[in-house]
Structures are given as C-alpha cells and as structure tokens.
Chain A
Amino acid sequence: MTAAISVSGLVKSFGRTRALDGLDLTVAQGEVHGFLGPNGSGKSTTIRVLLGLLRRDAGTARLLGGDPWHDAVTLHRRLAYVPGDVTLWRNLSGGEAIDLLGRLRGGLDAGRRAELLERFELDPTKKGRAYSKGNRQKVALVAALASDAELLILDEPTSGLDPLMEKVFRRCVSEERDRGRTVLLSSHILSEVEALCDRVSIIRAGRTVETGSLTELRHLTRTAVSAELAADPTGLENLPGVHDLVVDGNRVRCQVDAEHLDALLRAFGRSGVRSLTSRPPTLEELFLRHYATEVTA
C-alpha cells in the first residue's frame, strides 16, 4: 500500500526566510496523523505545498500517488481541506459556501450535510461576516466532513471551537478514521492529538525532529522519578542521563532518560528505598522538550 502523503527533504523559502528546510513527512493510508510544531515552524507551509498552492524549491512530495503541483486538479477531487484561518464571502450565506465547496468537488451528501449542521449546531443562513470565528471554522469543517474525500487535510481545525464542539469534532474524526479515511491533523491542542492520532510528526524550524507513534515517542523521553531514601544519596549527580536533579535531605526528584533508568534504580538501591513513584512523561512535557530545544539550538 502506498502512503497517502510522502514528503522528503522538502525545502521552501520565502525570500530570505527558509520556511521549510528539508522536511520529511509520511502519512500511511487510513491513519490519523498528528502534525505538530511551534508557531511559525512550517506546518501551514507544508500543507500549502501539498495542496499545490505553493511551489516547492527542492525535495520530493507525493500526495495520493500523484504530484501535488502538476496533478493538483485531479488530486483535489480526492481530498478535502480546512484552512486554519477561514474567511468566507461576505455576500454568501454559510449554507451556500458549504454547497459551493462541496459541489466543486462533485457534490455532497445532503443527509450527511444536514446531520453535521445539527451536530455542530451551525445556522447555515448567516452571511460571511456575521459568523463568529468558531462558526466560520464550522462552515469549513462541515463542507469537508460532508464530502466523500479519502484524505482530509485539517490545519488547526479546532482553533476557534468551544470545548463542546471540540468534542463533537473528535467524534467526527474518529468516525472518519473508522470509515478508512486518512487524516492529516495539524494542531496545537495536545489532548486532541493524544485522543485522535495514531502517529505524530513533530517539526521545528522547517525540519522534522521526531516522528512515530505516541508510545514510541514516550519511549524516547524521560521518566519523572521521585523517591524517599533510607540514607542520603551519593553520586547521583554523576550518573549519565539524569536531569533536573533536586536532592532535599533524603528526598530525591529528577528526570531520567529511559535507557538510564536502570542505573538510577541501582544507585537508589545502594541507599535503600522507602518509597518510589515514577510516571511516564505527559504529552505536554514531551512536546515542550521538543519545542523548547529550538530556543537553545
């Protein structure tokens, strides 16, 4: 089975800014793929290249087996897109915009359209400017979800939705996954990514820094450990892979790389352990670590 999206070594510059700098991204068919990165890291730019709106400077990009630039029109029949910043035509109602965008793609399922309007509690008779930000977003979401496109490209689709609607959105996306559709989901909302995505790619400054399933990613990162020891510990600061060490008498808190956990526990054993808690990193910590390295790098 070919990948729905495969991008490698993608480069795109705007004048002197290098927005993409050798980016790699592979999205398998049928998966929901999280696309993460700090502001300005190049997520939207990647998506625009994939949509054939921007021309890549270097690298390869394949979308549904075709070339995103040359085969744009035929490929677009098979995908639906929700931009991060939805602007609507001010003299068209939301319902008209939904119909137009659906029909350009060959028509949409009226039943499904009605169902989605109801689930998202969207009034289709308002016109462009009269919609709030979240409601404009919903117009684009309904148009995309009501289509029968095999690939959904969603660029921060929930940035304006309230928590209730965000829940509806999650349910819709998991339904789409169950129907076998592929989803590329760019998002800053980690709980959303955690709930929906099979695999994620993290980028920063136009490069992919990590890609894999969430379990794999967790594996690569540090575990938070806190312990109460029988005696004051010694030599912990010299252990490899131990970070953020705080020693307060016989209490110890630290972070440890997964592959050095073993050595730390042996060191604890030498002092005698009264209590021990360890937890895997939260997604938050995981991302913060990747995002933050940008500052120091």
Chain B
Amino acid sequence: MTALTGTGPLLRLALRRDRITLPVWVYLLTASVASTTYSFKKLYGTAASRGQLAASLAGNGSLRALYGPLGDSGIGGITVWRIGVTGAALAAAMSILLVVRHTRAQEEDGRLELIGAGAVARPAPLTAALAAAALANGLLALLTTASLVALGQPLAGSLAFGCSLAACGLVFAGVASVTAQLAETGRAANSLAGAALGLAYVLRAASDASTVHGPGAFDWLSPIGWSEQVQPYGADRWWVLLLSLAVAGLLAGVAYTLVGRRDLGSGLLPQRPGPATAARTLRTPFALAVRLQRGTLAGWCAAFAVAGGVFGAIAKGIVDLVGGNRPVADVLRRMGGQHGVADAYLSSIMGILGMLAAVYAVQCVLRLRAEETEGRAEPVLAGPVSRLGWATGHLLFPLLGSAALLTCGGLAAGAAEHATLGDRAGSVAELLGGALVQLPAVWLTAAAAVLLLGLAPRWTSAGWGVLTAFVLIGWLGPALQADQWVLDLSPFTHTPHLPGGTFAAQPLLWLTLLTAALTAAGLTGLRHRDLG
C-alpha cells in the first residue's frame, strides 16, 4: 500500500460533496473581480480620471490600510488595488473551510473512521483535501485571468493577479492542513486557521498604511502581503509566487509529519479528565449554553481587542502621513481637519469590526443547528425544557456576545488611538460608540440565520450567504456605483459612520425592530417544526 492509496476515490468524494459550494465560491470571487474591472472601465475610462484617483489615494492611509496600495494606474491596476487584498483573503477563507471540511471535520463526526478502515493510506484524506484545494485555487486563477483578459487587460498582469489570489489560497490551505492536525474539532481547526488569516490581514493593513508608495516593507510578514508584492500589471514579480508556493509546501509537509504521529480522531494535545460531578450552576439550558460557548466568546474577544488595538494605533501614522503631504492635507483639512482623516479611517475600521462581529453571531446561531442535527439537543429537549428555553439560552450569545466583542474592539481601538495621538480626549468613548452602533446590523444578520433555522432548517447555513451578500454590498457596492436600493439591502449601509459622521437613532431603531420580527418568526417556526 503506497502513501497515495485511496486518494483518488477520496478526492472524487470531496468534489462530489462540494459540487455546489466550490463552484459558488469560485464564481463569486471571479464575478467580483470581473464586475469591478467592468465598472472601472466605465467610471475611470480616461487616464486623467485615473490620475486623479491615484493622487487622491496617495495620501489616504485609511484607504491604503483597507485595500492596500495602488500600484499601476491602469484599469487592471486599480482593479487589483480595489479587490486584490479582499480577494486574496476570501481565497484563503475558501481554502481553509475546504481543507478542514474534508479532514478534521470529517474525522470528528466519525466518517473518516469508516473510510480509514478501507483500503486507504493514512495521509490519503489530507492529500485529497489539499488536491481539492489546489484544484479550486487553480480554477480561480484560470477564470480570473480569463475574465480579465476578456475585458481587455494585458495577459501577463492578468495571469499574475489570478496566480497571486490562488497563491494566498494555497498558503492558507497549508495553514489549515496543520491546524486540522492540532485541533480536535473542525470548529477549533477553522478558528485557529481563521486567527492566522486575521493576523495576516492586520499585519498587512498596518504595513500598507505606514508607507506612501508601493506595498509596505512589513508586507513580507503576511501571506496576503506576498500577493500584493507580486504587483500585477506593474512589476509582475513572478518569483514572489514561488515564496507562497514554498511556504504552502512547507506547511503541508508539517501536516504530513503530524498525521503520522497521532491517532485517528485525536488531536495532538492529550485529553485531560474532567470533574466527576457538575458545578452547582450547571442546571439550566442557559448554563449549558454558557458552558458550550464561553471558550469561543473569550477567543473572539481577545481577537477583537488585538485587532482594535492595532487599527487604533495605526491612526497616528495616517495623520502623520497626511501632514507631510501638503496638497492632500489641505484638501482633507477643508473637509474636516486632521481629525477628519483619522475619523474617516476609524469609522471604516468600525465597519469592519461590525462585519467580523456578524461572523461570530452567525456562527453562534449555526451552533444551535449543530446541537440539533448532531443529536445533543434531543436528550435536553426530552427533559422538561421548552424549545424556546433551549434556543434563547444559545441566542443570548449572538445578542450579548457580539456586544461584548464590539466593546472590546472599540475600547482597544480607543485606548490605542488615545495613547498614540493623545490630544483627542473623549476618543475612547467616541470609538466605543462607533463600535456599538454596529450592533443592530450585526443582530439583523444573525436574525436572518434564526429565521432560516426556524422556517428552513436545512438551509440554516445559508446564513453565511446572507452575511457574504451584506459584505459584498458594503465593499463593492459603492465602488461599482450600485443603485441605492441595492446598497440599502445591507443593514450595514444604514449604520451611522462614527466617529465623524452624524448619529441617527432612527435607522438603528428600525434595524432592531426588524431583528425582533425576524427572530420572533424564526422562533415560532422552531416551536412548530420537527426536530432533527
């Protein structure tokens, strides 16, 4: 039996299971790139208009932190600027979810045991998962290149861009293959790899915000930064792709070594025994929900504190940068002074924190569905526990847990900004406010998942689709000059831009009311449907 025995059938199985998920991911990514290029061709058709865009970007560190630097100022170049970082991060997310789904998550629910007993080499599931990831990223590179070329962009740059997205995806496929060996559950493996992705994103944001021209030097610390360093349509530095490939290969090598060293079903860390009797407080469905969700919440809070701190600390760099660039500084000062620059940047950061909190909230709601389908809800609900009691115990987490996350993020950003900029008394409170106004939009996203849970339980995971739609509307809508009604579909469109913007309570009230209505409908559905 060779190390490859069984890989073929496993790969086919993986592709069959993902026959909808993968094409949707690849399609959405390619379509985002293509539609960005398409509308930029209309919006910035002339070299003069692109020159203006480049000039206004040169000094704006906040936009650089969000999207990365502008390289070449052709249509291809501004497409890369607008969507390169986001696309690379999304390709990474696709790869992480894919690899974990076919390794640890499968192992966790015992399916791999059935397979492992067949004529299958021990590393075969890992090989199959990595091969599926390679296929998906290869397809992404191919389609992105083809669609850019079809839109009239030069082949070399288009190919470099497509490959730079796929390269980032492959690196994180490698990361996920390692975390899938370390963690015992699919959820934990996803979280670890997700944390690595978050770190990579924050590092490159800090790096890009702190330089004026070209990608920042610290980009080299972040796999997303490597993709920027390829500089498609500019230098087209192909050799940087080799760096990504080498690191991806190295990580996969580590994963293969780990596979050989551990038992099927276990992680690398040994299980410790637990208490023989339960704590006195563990007696209600809510207490159970706390017990199940508290670790996750703590991890997310820490991540929010770190991200908030880093983004808050960058604010100073942005103000300094603009100070050194007189014409841009003049323009911005007329628009609201130095604080205007920092505020515009910080309010965008608050928007990002809001969307990340929505990721947490949707994840919490899906947890409820997992409890149901994996049979752990059954013994609880066979006790004198109403479905409402069971569900609300868990739903307090998307409700209050997301508030805790935004509080952590807002406070950390405020404290870091205050420590570096100093002169803005009250900025901590302002940033806390800026973070907390995101809450109604976060809740509404979670409420959409609750609605699915109650009325179309099989489709609960489409909650991710709803969130993705909101994110895409927020990130691409304005750049593509989408109609206002499209923008209005996302609750994040209605969130006040704080600090700096004007606060309006009315939209928040509407969002909250809508949240209440969707949640009520979802819970009513849950009460009246079959369980399991």
Contacts and interface: CB of A to CB of B under 8 A. Distances in A.
Interface in A76-93: 76-77, 79-81, 83, 85-93
Interface stretch (A97-105, A232-240, A247-255): A97-105
B281 to A, nearest CB: 10
A6 B205 CA distance: 66
Contacts of B279: 96
Nearest to A127: B274
A30 interface: no
Interface residues of A, number: 43
Given A54-B530, A55-B530, A76-B383, A87 B277 contact: no
Contacts of A76: 382-385
A100 B532 contact: no
Contacts, number: 119
A283 to B, nearest CB: 30
Given A54-B530, A126-B274, A129-B271, A91 B379 contact: no
Nearest to A87: B375
A89 B376 contact: yes
B278 A96 contact: yes
B277 A77 contact: no
A279 to B, nearest CB: 41
Residue among B265, B384, B386 with max Cβ neighbours from chain A (10 Å): B384
Residue among B265, B282, B285, B532 with max Cβ neighbours from chain A (10 Å): B282
B228 to A, nearest CB: 39
Contact of A100 (B275, B276, B288): B288
Contacts of B185: 90
A140 B378 CA distance: 12
Given A55-B528, A95-B276, A100-B283, A129 B184 contact: yes
Given A54-B531, A77-B384, A96 B376 contact: no
B480 interface: no
Contacts of A83: 375, 378-379, 382
A124 B277 contact: yes
Interface in A36-89: 48, 51-55, 72-74, 76-77, 79-81, 83, 85-89
Nearest to A53: B531
A130 B272 CA distance: 10
Contacts of B274: 91-93, 95-96, 125-127
B385 A130 contact: no
Residue among A77, A87, A104, A106 with max Cβ neighbours from chain B (10 Å): A104
B489 interface: no
A104 B276 CA distance: 18
B374 interface: yes
B273 A93 contact: yes
B273 A127 contact: yes
B295 interface: yes
A97 to B, nearest CB: 8
Interface string B269-311: 0011111111100111101100110010000000000000000
Contact of A127 (B271, B375, B378, B380): B271
Interface string A119-141: 00000111101100000000010
A105 B274 CA distance: 23
Residue among B374, B375, B528 with max Cβ neighbours from chain A (10 Å): B375
Nearest to B531: A53
B529 interface: yes
A284 to B, nearest CB: 30
B388 to A, nearest CB: 10
Interface string B162-190: 00000000000000000000001100000
B379 A85 contact: no
A140 to B, nearest CB: 7
21 contacts: A48-B532, A51-B382, A53-B381, A54-B531, A55-B530, A73-B384, A76-B385, A79-B382, A80-B382, A81-B379, A87-B376, A89-B291, A91-B274, A95-B276, A96-B274, A96-B275, A99-B278, A99-B283, A100-B282, A101-B380, A153-B382
Q: List 7 A-B pairs, minimum CB-CB distance, nearest first.
A: A93-B274, A99-B278, A104-B383, A103-B283, A81-B382, A96-B278, A125-B273
